[in-house]
Amino acid sequence: MKETSMEREGRVRKKWEEDGTFQRSIANREGRETYVFYEGPPTANGLPHAGHALGRTIKDFVARYKTMSGYQVLRKAGWDTHGLPVELEVEKLLNIRGKDQIEEYGVENFIQKCKESVFTYENEWKQFTKALGYWVDMDDPYVTLTNDYIESVWNILSTIHEKGYLYKGHRVVPYCPHCETSLSSHEVAQGYKDVSDLSVTAKFRLMDKTNEYFLGWTTTPWTLPGNVALAVNPKMNYVRVKQGTEIYILAESLVTTVLQEDYEILEVVAGKDLIGLSYEPPFDYVAVKNGHKVLGADFVTDSSGTGIVHLNPAHGEDDYKVIHDNNFDYVNVVDSKGRYKEMVSLLAGKFVKDCDVDIIKMLSQKNRLFAKQKYEHSYPHCWRCDSPLLYYAMEGWFIKTTAVKEAMQANNQEVEWFPSHMKDGRFGNFLNNMVDWNIGRNRYWGTPLNVWVCKTCGKEKAPSSIKELRKLSAAEVPADLELHKPYVDKVQLACSCGRRMERTSEVIDVWFDSGSMPFAQYHYPFEKKDMFNKQFPADVVIEGVDQTRGWFYSLLAVSTLYTGQSPYKRVLSLGHILDEDGQKMSKSKGNALNPTELIQEFGADALRWALLADSSPWNNKRFSKKTVSQAKSKVIDTLLNVYTFYTMYAEIDQFDPSRDVGGVQTTLDRWIVSRLNTVVKEVVQSLDAYDITRGARSITVFIDELSNWYVRRSRQRFWSSGMTDDKRSAFSTLYEVLTKLSQLMAPYTPFVSEDIYTNLVNDSVHVSDYPKPEESLIDIQLENDMNAVLEIIELTRSARNITGIKTKQPLANLAVIPTDAILSNLHHYSPIIKEEVNVKGLEFRKDFRDLLQLHLKLNFAVAGPKLGKSLGEVKNILEKLDDQLKARFVEGGELQLTLQSGEPVNLTKEDILLEKTAKDGYALGEGTNFIILLETTVTKELKEEGLVREFIRAVQSYRKELNLPVDLRVVLYIQTDSWLQEVLVKFAPLVERNLIIKAVHFEHKPMMRSFQVEEYEVKLYIQS
């Protein structure tokens, strides 16, 4: 039984584990230059998907390539273990929802459950990582929940606090009502969805007027019960307009849009003159001391709405600021779960975003609705629980990233991005628009924010280590204090005012954890400073493009705040994996590919090759099972077939690469060696520029050339008995090629490469040095010639296909006409071409006129306008043109005609389309460098030879079926009709040349097997 991919890869993996090959590949480079790689930590409470397969394949690729290129590449694994995702999983598990129920369940128990849940799928992740062949040190990973890790994060936060960049503020932030916590702007950026919402124009009655209204506009009707003010732009003009019995005030430029028709403008008023006017809000749920007046704001425009904007301070950043600046009252009618508070009596307890329609109905009942409109927009949703977010004014902790914005931008400029447009595009833009980092989360499972606050005097303290915490503590701190809630919350610090300081209750944004990994993975600055110095900054970080707002951002922000430096020199940003129709893969759509299943069916090598070779990893990638299956059949299996062919004969002949060196090289040997070195050169150039896909394409072409040309053409050289000079050369050439090719492919397909290389060289390919091209072995002329030969063969094959004459059927003659004189020097390849395309004769010619018919046709698009009325006449002339004139046109590119009127007409190449057809008895093939004409007449003699070749093929396939050793000479018994027997006797030398036989007998044997050779029945018996 042939070994499956899974079995082969399992065998290789076992050997790696036994031999400690991964560790050896690192130890092997001790003292060499370091190439620093950071692992972006996955969370192990979800299963790996196709995107992870791409990320991990490229990480492994780069690390293996750099290792083989001479660098030492440490690969410390990491696990991201904190944060909302974990809490939400545990909520589901315990069947509880929301913070009240967590408190009820008990924070300590909840935290313990979170800790257990973190590694739910750790085993699956480890299996997947190993199966994919991703070498990463999972025995000594960094884990963000450990005290050591947290202590490093504390040290960073303490430094930031010391610099005055960690502060508490009251401001409007994006807020998830389900998770009951605010989010950072980069988290928000990850969850936009297109939704349909309602906008409303409501009527705000002017104080002391019965029928006069401001038309106030809002895209969030649910915020109307908390209305505190209306805003106008002081620089815009407004109008009082009468429509029906009512008077409206709105922006002059929007009158037609809003009122459409039947209105009368009473007065134009400057925006600034409206400021200070009082109105009665549509709802009376809140009473204000200062408010319900018009104020001026520059952000009001006339690009939509009415030019008058409804303001609610609790849910909009602009609203909050302008209301605060005008000393108007702050009100909030929404609770922490996103529901209306008691005061909004009719809707109390309902989720506000579900109440837009209720609000509109209520407005309408009160005669306060002017208009409503549906609109589509992109609205942020929680990146973890999918709830629509609310903007919400609240207290929170912020890091003043805006203070280091320029430093971050400058650091970014030093980074090499793949693809390059990310630097000033997606990532650069994100940096340009950055806001302060909302770092606190009102949750439970995370790194506790290490800020202690004194309620009495307001002093803050941010301990930078466990040691400092102990020193500042008002009481003894347990020796085994775990740096999590609720344990750290029990620690109180002594304040200089004499009172106690308590820890602020928040945990921090989980993205700050992963952004701290360059430092925290080595417990910096408490331990391993040398290690840290060697491993900072990273030469490369690699993740999906969505990490521009996630890990790529948090790494840069943390490091810039902490050290001023960029944490990485290079970023590889990977596109998404889409299904074959270009749709995003998702479990709910059912179009997600499971990478583990793909590995089981096709092998990790095939999956990796498909991911790396099919299209550039920087762009979104259409991907399907078919891509993987093709990678297996076209690349992995083809390589294995060549390798199996080699080992089979090497065994028969006891070929020993160290003893059987040299031999007499054929042109074909020199050619494949030249190609090998050209490909090595191309691949190294590509990979040094991180162009993994181009490298793969060079290899794909080479594997095809090796298998379908070099090996196929060399087969017979291996059949001869004994070790001849020619055979020795064939063996050493193939040995050299397979050795280097397995090295070239090792970062792409680590398993099959390892298997082949180890068997050839008796050591691991992954501790070897990546091949370097040997320029002296590259013969460009030879490569070009062989390319030309292959083109001629290809053209001839397609000409045969068109006429339906099988390659097995010999034909008399092939004429080859190069379109370029340089290529006419291919005479010494004639034997190869003749044999490949199965023709008796081959001639290179300059002239093809006697074999072709030329048709000159007018190119109407060009000639039409030029000829005008004479068009028809010229067309007729061309149809009847004699061959001599046609030939003259072909040579000179010009044609002079005379019309009946005596007027001369001059036609050039642009005016004429030249069509060629072969004369009877010939088939035509036209390529870029050649025209070929294949004689298609099958004479009796040729027909007979064709039959004999069909017969040979039948015997060969029968031998294969019987599984006979390839070099075994057999006795062949044949029974067929007398005519075919005669033919076989006549062509005996051809039969003997192609079949490994001792003797042929035309006689009957029992148990003969019947074959069809064209229209004849042939019975065969093989005696071994």
Which residues from 344-383 bind Zn ion, rule CB under 5 A?
Answer: 382
Q: Given 80, 319, 614, 785, which residue is catalytic? A: 80
Distance CA 753, CA 750 (A): 5
405 binds Zn ion (CB under 5 A): no
Which of the residues 163, 467, 587, 960 is marked catalytic?
A: 587
Give the residue with the Cβ less far from Zn ion, 471 or 806.
Answer: 471
Using CB under 5 A as the binding rule, whether residue 494 contacts Zn ion is answered as no
Nearer to Zn ion, 49 or 443 (CB): 443
Minimum distance between the CB of residue 279 and Zn ion, rounded to whole angstroms? 37
User: Alpha-carbon dihedral of residues 377, 383, 389, 394, nearest 10 degrees?
Assistant: -140
Find tokens 């994100």 and name the residue.
430
Residue 78 pairs in a beta bridge with: 142
Q: At closest approach, how far in Å is the CB of 98 from Zn ion?
A: 11
Exposure of 599 by Cβ count < 10 A (0-12 exposed, 13-18 middle, 19+ buried)? Answer: buried
What gap in Å lies between CA 835 and CA 876, rounded to an integer?
A: 45
For CA atoms 225, 229, 235, 237, the dihedral sign is: positive
Structure tokens at 430: 């994100």
Residue 456 binds Zn ion (CB under 5 A)? yes
Q: CB of residue 338 vs Zn ion: minimum separation in angstroms?
A: 10
Among 113, 171, 178, 549, binds Zn ion (CB under 5 A): 178
By CB under 5 A, name the one of 53, 454, 604, 636 that touches Zn ion. Answer: 454
| Tokens 């030029």, located at residue | 866
The total of other beta-carbon atoms located within 10 Å of residue 908's CB is: 14
Q: Give the interface size with Zn ion as a residue count (CB under 5 A).
A: 13
Nearer to Zn ion, 499 or 1019 (CB): 499
* 418/697 Cα distance (integer angstroms): 19
Cα 689 off chain centre by: 17
Q: How far is the CB of 590 from Zn ion (least distance, A)?
A: 25
Question: In this complex, which beta carbon is closest to Zn ion, that of residue 456 or of residue 641?
Answer: 456
Min separation Cβ 88 and Zn ion, Å? 7
Does 474 bind Zn ion (CB under 5 A)? Our answer is: no
Q: For residues 663 and 730, is the Cβ–Cβ distance under 8 A? A: yes
- C-beta of 47: minimal distance to Zn ion in Å? 21
| Sole window of 478-486, 487-495, 517-525, 529-537 interacting with Zn ion (rule: CB under 5 A) | 487-495
Structure tokens belonging to residue 349: 């307890």
Q: Which of 16, 41, 617, 618 is catalytic?
A: 41
Residue 237 CB: number of other CB atoms within 10 A? Answer: 15
Indicate which single residue of 475, 497, 962, 985 sits in contact with Zn ion (rule: CB under 5 A).
Answer: 497
**Identified catalytic residue from 163, 361, 584, 772:** 584
Please tell me which residue in 217, 511, 609, 618 is annotated as part of the active site: 511
> Closer to Zn ion at the Cβ: 221 or 388?
388
Task: Output 496 or 533, the one with its CB closest to Zn ion.
Answer: 496
Q: How far apart are CA 949 and CA 984, in angstroms?
A: 10
Residue 84 or 673 having the CB closest to Zn ion: 84
d(CA 331, CA 395): 14
Q: How far is the CB of 384 from Zn ion (least distance, A)?
A: 5
Q: Which of 270, 457, 689, 899 binds Zn ion (CB under 5 A)?
A: 457
Binding region for Zn ion (CB under 5 A) out of 413-421, 457-465, 558-566, 569-577: 457-465
Least Cα distance to 232 among 286, 296, 154 occurs for 296
Closest CA relative to residue 608, chosen from 141, 129, 137, 136: 129
Cα–Cα distance between 235 and 630 in angstroms, integer?
Answer: 66
Among candidate residues 521, 535, 547, 809, the one labeled active-site is 547
179 binds Zn ion (CB under 5 A): yes
Rounded Cα distance between 996 and 932, Å, is 35
320: CB partners within 8 A, 6+ apart: 171, 172, 313, 314, 393
Using CB under 5 A, which of the segments 168-176, 503-511, 767-775, 801-809 binds Zn ion?
168-176
Cβ distance to Zn ion smaller for residue 496 or 708: 496
**Choices 129-137, 410-418, 497-505, 959-967 (CB under 5 A): range interacting with Zn ion:** 497-505
DSSP summary character for residue 478: P
Nearer to Zn ion, 382 or 696 (CB): 382
Alpha carbons within 13 angstroms on the beta-carbon side of residue 232 total 24
Contact stretch for Zn ion (CB under 5 A) within 431-439, 453-461, 729-737, 798-806: 453-461
- Quote the CA–CA distance of 887 and 27 in Å, as a whole number: 72
190 vs 830, beta carbon nearer Zn ion? 190
| Nearest-approach distance from CB 441 to Zn ion, in angstroms | 11
Minimum gap (Å) between residue 538 Cβ and Zn ion: 31
What is the nearest approach in angstroms of Zn ion to the Cβ of residue 178? Answer: 5
Of 83 and 316, nearer to Zn ion (C-beta) is 83
- Please, which residues bridge with residue 970 across strands? 997
Chain positions 137 to 166 lying near Zn ion, rule: CB under 5 A, are: none
The closest alpha carbon to 912, from 929, 941, 889, 930, belongs to 889
The least distance separating Zn ion from the CB of residue 456, rounded to whole angstroms, comes to 5
Pick left, alpha or beta for residue 757 (phi over 0 → left; psi -120 to 50 → alpha; otherwise beta).
alpha
- State in angstroms the smallest separation of the CB of 445 from Zn ion: 14
Cis peptide before 85 (omega within 30 of 0): no
Interaction residues for Zn ion, span 668-727 (CB under 5 A): none
In the bound state with Zn ion, the residue whose beta carbon lies nearer, of 82 and 405, is: 82
Q: Which residue of 385, 592, 964, 1008 would you call a contact of Zn ion, by CB under 5 A? A: 385
Angstrom distance (rounded) from CA 150 to CA 484? 9
Is-catalytic flag, 350? no
Distance of CA 551 to the CA centre of its chain: 17
Torsions phi, psi for 657 (to 5 deg): -60, -25
Instruction: Say which of 79, 551, 618, 671 is annotated catalytic.
Output: 551
Shortest spacing between CB 386 and Zn ion, in angstroms: 7
Q: Which helix (H) or strand (E) holds 393?
A: strand 390-399
Q: Which CB sits closer to Zn ion, 300 or 394?
A: 394
Q: Mark the segment that binds Zn ion (CB under 5 A) among 158-166, 173-181, 245-253, 809-817.
A: 173-181
Backbone angles phi, psi at 316, to 5 degrees: -145, 140
Contact call for residue 472 and Zn ion (CB under 5 A): no
- Phi, psi torsion values for 713, nearest 5 degrees: -75, -20
**Over 321-354, what HEC string results?**
HHHHHCCCCCCCCECCCCEECCCCHHHCCCEHHH
By the 8 A CB rule, do 413 and 556 touch? no
* Contact between 176 and Zn ion per CB under 5 A: yes
Pick from 495, 676, 745, 817 the residue near Zn ion by CB under 5 A.
Answer: 495
Instruction: Work out the angle between the directed axes of helices 84-94 and 98-105 (0-180°, nearest 10).
Output: 70
Q: Is 773 a catalytic residue?
A: no
Active site residue 80: yes
Question: Is 551 considered catalytic here?
Answer: yes
969 and 1023 Cβ atoms separated by less than 8 Å:
no
Give yes or no for a contact between 60 and 135, defined as CB atoms under 8 angstroms apart: yes
Alpha helices in 145-199 (DSSP H): 147-162, 185-188
Supply the residues annotated as catalytic: 41, 80, 511, 547, 551, 584, 587
Q: Which residues bind Zn ion (CB under 5 A)?
A: 176, 178-179, 382, 385, 387, 454, 456-457, 459, 495, 497, 499
